[in-house]
Every structure is written in structure tokens, then in C-alpha cells.
Amino acid sequence: MRIGSLQQKVEICGLLAIAAMVLVIPAGAAAGEGERRGEIGIQVGVRWADNDIVPDDSNSLGLVLGIGGAYALNTKWALIGDLTASTHDSILFCEGTDSCSALTPEADYKVLRAGIERRFKPGPKNGRWVLSLTTGMVDVEWNGFQVHHGLLSLGFGRRMATRAGIIRWDIRLEPTFAERFDPDLSEVVEGAHLFSAAVMVGWSWGIGARLPSP
């Protein structure tokens, strides 16, 4: 039930994002106006989780839905942050010494991150390559049991300002560091390091004062 619900939300948001891109990309940039300093929007995509989260015989991909925002310090640098969530098949974990069973068939994987983004010189149709470095937290939940890990995220992608909003895509590599186990669980995730990668597409609306044209 939970997987189906997530898929429906992602499919709806994905269709809206694709429709928006088709409608606004031909319009190109709002020439000479400059972008808004702030932005807030939605994100959809796919996340790959390693085998510390997903069983070896299962599909490691999970659909992702998220919200995000940014505040431009100037035309080259911006503060960014987002919250994304995906659902994956759950790994097994052992209880006692003789049995090993899955608590639930699903694991909820949430990523909260914040950091800085470098925006490079605009190209055709005001498209700009971007590079981001963020930190945050990964929360992995099995039916109420939670494991928290620190996160370091490196992102690379492209964004384009249009008259109607901002379209972007990015690829994220997200290794974790440190760990904190739920005290009620004897074993959930082995080792302190997880790894995930995500491909995201986003649509956001500009808010606030305008920046000078880059």
C-alpha cells in the first residue's frame, strides 16, 4: 500500500514537471531580468541504495519525491536545502541466535541535506551548470524502528530559468559517515557507511527580489 501510494504521487508530479518543461522551455530565459534570489519547488527522481539497505536479490532502485529550496547569495553562489524520501525493499535482520526474518517488507529512506551550490556562467537558453556540496542526515525506518546516519552529498547538474519558473536536473552521490542505532534493535545495518546515488528532476518557483543579470 505504501509503495503504491508513493508511486502514484511520483507519477503525478512527474507528469506535471514534464508538462511544465514542454510548455516553458521554448520560451527560454527571461532576458535581462535576472533571477529571483529565492526559490522553492518540488523534486522527483530515482534513488539507488546499496545492499546494506536492499537485499541482494531485489531491485535497488526506489522512486523519490521531495521538496527543496534555495537562496542565492549572488549570481555565482547559493545556499540550498531539500528533503527527499524513497521506499525500498527491506533487508533481513536477525533476532536472537537462531532466526533471521524481515520486520517489514519495506524500508523508508529519507534524506535531509543543506549546503552550498556553485552556479556557473549561463549558456544557451540561460542554462547553467551547477555543482553542490551539502551535508545532512539519512533516516532509514523499518515500521517505526529508525537508524540515523550523517551524510555528505556531492551533486552535479544543470538548471534553467524560464519566465514561468526554474527547471533543473542533477545527479547526487551520497555516502554516509557515523551511525546511531535504535537501542531496541540488536542489528539493523552492518557497518557505519552506506552509499546511495540519485538522479533528480526539479521544478521551482522564484521568490523575493531579483538578482542582477550574470
Q: Which percentage of the chain shows pLDDT scores above 90?
A: 41
Q: Do the domain assignments include residue 17?
A: yes
pLDDT on residue 9 = 53
Distance from C-alpha of 87 to C-alpha of 132, rounded to nearest angstrom: 24
Structurally, the chain folds into a number of domains equal to 1
| Residue 64 and residue 45 in contact, taking contact as beta carbons nearer than 8 Å | yes
Q: Which percentage of the chain shows pLDDT scores above 70?
A: 68
Q: Do the domain assignments include residue 213?
A: no
Q: Do the domain assignments include residue 7?
A: yes
More reliable by pLDDT, 198 or 21: 198
Q: Do the domain assignments include residue 120?
A: yes
Amino acid at 13: C
Average pLDDT over residues 74-78: 94
Q: Whose CA is closest to 169, among 182, 156, 178, 181? A: 156
Q: Do the domain assignments include residue 214?
A: no
Q: Do the domain assignments include residue 188?
A: yes
DSSP per-residue codes, 109-177: EEEEEEEEEEE----GGGEEEEEEEEEEEEEEEETTEEEEEEEEEEEEEEEEE-SS-EEEEEEEEEEEE
More reliable by pLDDT, 185 or 132: 132
Which string of b and e fits 29-59 if b means at least 16 CB within 10 Å?
bbeeebbbbbbebbbbbebbbeebbbeeeee
Q: Whose CA is closest to 89, among 34, 119, 49? A: 49
Q: What is the pLDDT of residues 89-120, one digit of tens each?
A: 876 554 444 444 445 567 888 999 999 999 99
- For 164, the domain range is 2-208
Average pLDDT over residues 52-76: 87
Can you give the CATH number for the domain in which 147 is found? 2.40.160.20
More reliable by pLDDT, 183 or 74: 74
Q: What is the dihedral of CA 50, 56, 58, 64, to 10 degrees?
A: 0
pLDDT on residue 139 = 87
Q: What is the pLDDT of residues 161-193, one digit of tens each?
A: 888 899 999 999 999 886 655 444 445 454 457
Q: Do the domain assignments include residue 102?
A: yes
| Residue 71 and residue 40 in contact, taking contact as beta carbons nearer than 8 Å | no
pLDDT on residue 184 = 45
Cα–Cα distances in angstroms (integers) from residue 96 to residues 34, 89, 92, 93, 187, in the given order: 62, 22, 13, 10, 10
Q: What is the pLDDT of residues 11-37, one digit of tens each?
A: 555 555 555 444 444 344 444 467 889
| Residue 201 and residue 47 in contact, taking contact as beta carbons nearer than 8 Å | no
Q: What is the mean pLDDT of the chain?
A: 77
